[in-house]
Structure 1
Amino acid sequence: MKLISTFIIGLIFGIGITVGGMANPAKVINFFDVAGTWDPSLLLVMVSALVVTAVGYYFVLKRPHPVFEDVFSLPAAKQIDLPLIAGSTAFGVGWGITGFCPGGSIPALGLAIPDPFIFVGSMIVGITLAKFLRGRNAFKTVKTHN
C-alpha cells in the first residue's frame, strides 16, 4: 500500500508540475526574465503550491505519526550554513540557466527530448559530488544570521 500511495502522490505531483507549466523550460525562463518577456503565470503556481503545502502541514503534523511510518521525518537543522547556501545557489543558478528545477525535470523526461535527460544526469552528478565532499568534511559549518 505504501508503494501504491507513493506512486499516486508522484503521479499527481507530476501532473500538477506539467499542467502548471513548470516542466516547460521556456515558460520558466520567461518567468525569470522580468526585464523582457516576463510571464507572471508561474507566480500563481508557486503561491498555490505554498498554500496547499501550508494547509497540508497544518493538518498532517497534528497527527501522532504518518500513515505508513512510526515518526515524521522532519529536518532538524535550523541554521544557515555553507551546504545550504551552496545548494540554494546551485539550485537557483541551474534553474535560471536551464529552466528546469528537479521537480519539473522528472516529468519532462516523458517528453523524450535530450534537455531534461542532460539536466537530470548533471543533477545526479552534482548530488554525488556534494555527498562525496560532505563525506570528506569539505563543507565546514559557517553560521550566519538567522
Structure 2
Amino acid sequence: MFNIIATLAGVLFGYGLALSGMVSPGKVVGFLDITGNWDPSLAFVMGGAVGVTFIAFRLLLKRPHPIFGDKFHVPTRQDIDSRLIIGAALFGIGWAVGGLCPGPAISSLAYAEPKILTFVLSMVVGIFGAKILFPASR
C-alpha cells in the first residue's frame, strides 16, 4: 500500500510542477535573472508550497503516526555543519546553471530532451558519488 500512495504522491507532485510551468528551465533562469527579464512566478509557486507545507505539517504531526505508515521520518538534527553548507551550495549552483532541481528534472524526463537526460544522469552520479565519498556516519 505504501508504494501505491508514494507513487500517487509523486504523480500529483509532477502534475503540479507541470501545471505551474516549473519543469521549464527557462522559468528558473527567468526567476534568477533579477537584472534582466525577471519572472516572479516561481516565487508564487514556492510561496504556495511553503504555505501548504506550514499548515499541513502542523496538522499532520499532531497525529500519533502517519495515515499510511508506522512512524514519521522527520529530521532531528538542528546544527549547521560544513556538509550542509557545501551541499546547499552545490544544489544552488546546479539549480542556477541547469535551471532544474531534482523534482522538476525527473518530471522533465518525459520530454526526452538530451540536456535533461544529461542533467538527471549527472545528478544520479553525484548522489551515488556523495554516498561513496561521504558515507552516513550519524
Q: TM-score range by the shorter chain?
A: over 0.9
| Aligned positions of 1:97-112 closer than 5 A | 97-112=97-112
Q: What is the identity, as a one-letter code, of the residue corresponding to 2:101?
A: C
- Larger deviation: 126-135 or 26-35? 126-135
Give the CA deviation at 1:83. Answer: 1.1
Q: What is the RMSD of the two structures over their aligned residues, measured on CA atoms?
A: 1.4
- Equivalent residue letter for 2:106: I
Residue 132, structure 1, aligned to residue 132, structure 2 = yes
Aligned partner of 1:44: which letter? F
Instruction: Name the counterpart of 2:70.
Output: 70
- Number of aligned residue pairs: give it: 137
Residues 62-85 of structure 1: CA deviation (Å, up to 9, x unaligned): 100012222111111111011111
TM-score where L is the length of structure 1: 0.89
What's 2:86 paired with?
Answer: 86
CA distance in 1, matches of 2:96, 2:20: 17
Q: Which residue number corresponds to residue 38 of structure 2?
A: 38
Question: Unpaired segments of 5 or more residues in structure 2?
Answer: none
Quick one: which amino acid aligns to residue 24 of structure 2?
A: N
Task: Please give the secondary structure, in 1, of the residue aligned with 2:134.
Answer: helix
Aligned to 1:114: 114
Secondary structure in structure 2 of the residue aligned to 1:135? coil
Displacement of 1:136 in angstroms is 9.2
